[in-house]
Structure 1
Amino acid sequence: MSIHTSFDPSLVDDNDIKIQEVEVLKSIYYEDFIKEDDDLYRIRIKVEVPDHFEIRIKRQQHQEEEVAEQSTSTTTTLTTDPINSSSSSSSSSSCQDECYPIICLPNVTLGFEYPKDYPSSPPTLMISCCWLSLEEMNQVLEYLNTSLWEEGESVIFRYIEWIKSSMVSFIAKERQQNVDCCIYLSNVPIDFGSPLNEFVSWDHQEGWTSPTSSLPLLLAHNTHESKRVFAQEPHCCPICYIDDDGTKFELFKCGHFICKACLCHMLTVNIDSGSINSIKCTEPCCGAAIEQHLVSKYVSQEHMERYNGQMKKTQGFVACTRCKGWAKVDPNTRSTFCGTCYYSMCMLCTKTWHPGVTCNYEAIQSDRSTDVAQRPRPCPGCSVLIWKFDGCNKVHCVMCDKLFCWLCLQVISGYEHFETTCILFEIPGQRPRFVQTRHDGNVTGICPCSRCGAKVYQYSQNNHVLCFQCKGAIFAVKELLPFSQQDSTIGSVHGFMERPTILGKIEL
């Protein structure tokens, strides 16, 4: 005898509906489905974000007030039409924010507890998230309980799908007046004593005070997920133009990419040529530096050592002459210090550092018989040896950027020193035969000094004249040109204006 049974939906009790829904949710979400108690469950939900989505952070309040004051003062002096004023206000608002492009956000956890008479009564909902404030999470729960709940129906799956696909846009529109492309992280400290904590929970780490504190975690999560999504799609290398799977490419921090073969070749060529500054993103107008861990991933150990050496030099290090390690350069003392062997080296003479003592050079003797122009002299500022072959006695050191007198090695600022102490164009040990003094004698000629352009007067037909302006320039006159009495201001003038020609140094 066979027994036939028929299924009557009215005979299905509420407990069977809950069991069926739990089994369906468990099969769909699997690892993200967590059972806390007999009727208490949690599901981790991966939310979707709109295209060109951004996380933004506002400046501090005092900075906004300063910008507002500047904006107010500007609008009181300028007249703008409504369109330009609106666009200017929008631009100013965006300039005040820190913007971070985001393609993936950390999970949102939805907790729910079934009542005994479910689905006649709604489930008790709980939500937790690290990048939303308590108020924003409470708004989400209110929307689920009021807009999506329908008596007599299983609604948990509907709740999950809405959080997954529409919650980000919902929060963005609530905060930004129907703008769903960005969310502002709140910098208001979380109130852990708020009554909202009964149903909403802020996922936080030690030391966090507000949703703004979660920004480093959001950026790290976004970078990791960006690479995972990138690897799932095919791409075309912008260098070799070969299409391949995403796993054959390397994605940079700036968002650009090249294939691994081109990256390896580019790194090797630039390290071999010493052009480590060219190790950067190949996209035009980008130029972002390539991360060091990528360099070590795609070059040999030998190339990595050369790369590290070149990087050390750009960071102010030089190779230690004693242990072959890296010594830090001190630009103030012109010396190096090795943290491995504790050796200090003088950058000027490449010997052991000698503070307070000039580098190894022959001291200038009092004997003036040797031409000083052929002997080096130390700079009074940095002790660098300087050779002077021509020109005046005012010397400029290119190492420490100091001006000093070549004769007495005194640091100077201009030409005033040569008007009272030393002679501008004289070499020590040499004196002119003829020393001319200023006097109101019989002026027989006038000419411009070929060095400084000052007027030089000839007295009593004497062709050995001295310029009193640059003090020490000796001239010998060869040509005679007519001149008028208006060109002279000393005595009675008659004769010719003389064009001087330097004949050279006059020996004693």
Structure 2
Amino acid sequence: MPRKSSKPRGAAAHGPVGLTPAPRPALKAGPPNPSPAAAVAEAEGRKGPDAGAAAAAEALERLHVGPAPDGDPPPALEPEPEPEAPAPSQPPPVEASSSGWSAAGGSLEEEAVRKLHELAEADGEEVALTEEEAQANDQRQEDEICALEAIFGDAVVILDRKGGQRCFQVHVHIEIPDSIDVSTRLSYGDGTLKYGATSDADDDDLVYKFKVEHLPPILLRCLMPASYPSHRPPFFTISTYWLDKGMVSSLCRMLDTLWQEQQGMEVTYQWVQWLQSSSLSHLGFGNEIVLSKNDVTCDTDKRACLDDGSPDVIIPRMMRYNETKHHEAFLHAIHDCMICFSECPGVDFVKLPCHHFFCWKCMQTYCKINVKEGNVVKLLCPDTKCEGAVPPNVLKRLLGEDEFERWEGLLLQRTLDAMSDVVYCPRCQTACLEDVDNEAVCSNCLFSFCTLCTNRRHIGEQCMSPQERLLILEKRQQSGRLQADQQRRIFEELKSLKEIMKDCKQCPKCKMAISKTEGCNKMECWNCKEYFCYQCNRAITGYEHFQGSCVLFPQEEIDRWEMQMNPRVQRQVVAQAHAEMYGRHGQPHLCPTCRQPSPKVGNNNHLFCWACQKHFCALCHKPVPKPAQHYGPKGCKQHTADP
């Protein structure tokens, strides 16, 4: 049975999935299956139209839909479970190996041990050792494994100790910079996504590229013979799924070289260290890793254990592993809440699918306030520049049972109200679907009614207008044929409908009634966030629509703004109103320049035309360029009463 060391090693002792949670569970909106654009994807299509390239692009979009070969990822938005201490007789769970084998015990581990023993038997008989040499090798092997467990912690798992031979495996995590590009050429044929040609001259392939911060580990399995380290090296296999056979075979030969350089010494630590720090440079990878298909013509080392998977399996597995490790790092780190600016560990944060995160208390208060006020549409990410929604499974954990039921009810009601073909039964208020003939049948009480007048459907008759309906209701009110509550409800409903149809416009997308009180003609529906023109009631995206027959600002709106912002214009409007008033009283004072009437303020004969901005005299009706020369003993009097 496999055995794992009980020696802790910092955070690594918690395993790859769980952390000891704080008083509240850590929430993480499971990493959304990233699209090629979100994963820094780049696609180079064919130069001309081709169905093959289009099919490859569609297949590429489905890369992240299929389940992981080594098991489903942790469910999104679930709290990280507290790891239980494993019993001594049971192997604890560790990270999934790069070949899809886990260290939890089973037939796959037995198969791996069997293969190592086959390699040992194929190598020939064991070297004859003296008792002193055998004891020395045994002690050195035990010391080496203890050192590996102390250094690499959970990454080292003992597989077998039968027959005095130690068999173990090490998950080698490759050291990379902050991030590294992974690219591959893809082609689509026979209904599956395959690796394309390595030549850049093939224009029929797509180039897919994405970034990762963590590469899946390389699994190194070793079997220590009794003659190690004095005479022979350990027998080993290397497993991975994202490198081809030629590359893994090259790594095997390099481990042989390291043994030859220090024969007779312990070598497994040097192997692991070299795989961690130098394997990528040895394979020729700099700032980019290129995935390619296995070359069937190359000589493959029998110690190279590979999963010959297709790219639509390998690429999502690499992305899921990267997201898992990224989440583990998030849980370990200390972060600042952008609402309350307090510092908390990652387990006390709620991480949304849009990758924004906030502390538990702030998110709980934010969600409860919005649900209490009925703002289910505005229940978005608290970041002001983000429009991502808060997932329902996050809300279920943040809200109480009653609050979550209220949120569900409000959301359902808002959704039904926004549907143009949903009406309510006038008897039991059950939501019903309206057909093309404006009729509906209640699924609860089976009442068949007209959706226009909410009466029994009138086959072969035209439904009455709202005005006719109001007249009938008034007559029924006088005769007392309706109950007071029913009469008031129907009467108010029809009056509201009449006012809405007179002063409102319907959103072209969700048909919600919208009224404009002021501002421009570019409207935004409060229900579905659709933009439309209030003048022609058409859906729009930008302001190009107002370059045609529709105007952005109505003239009355412009006049109102000018009066508010420009006192001079306001005085002109007032003067014009006064002039019209004086004109109605038979005392107009027409401007000699533009012939527009202007009022006389008090007894002052010096008038200012509101239209052409000219000064003139109310007595002689001549322009007055210089008032000091026009009014005086020899000219007109400036102040006289009107006759």
TM-score, scaled to structure 1: 0.50
Between 1 and 2, higher relative CO (CA 8 Å, sep ≥ 6) is seen in 2
Higher strand share: 1
TM-score, scaled to structure 2: 0.41
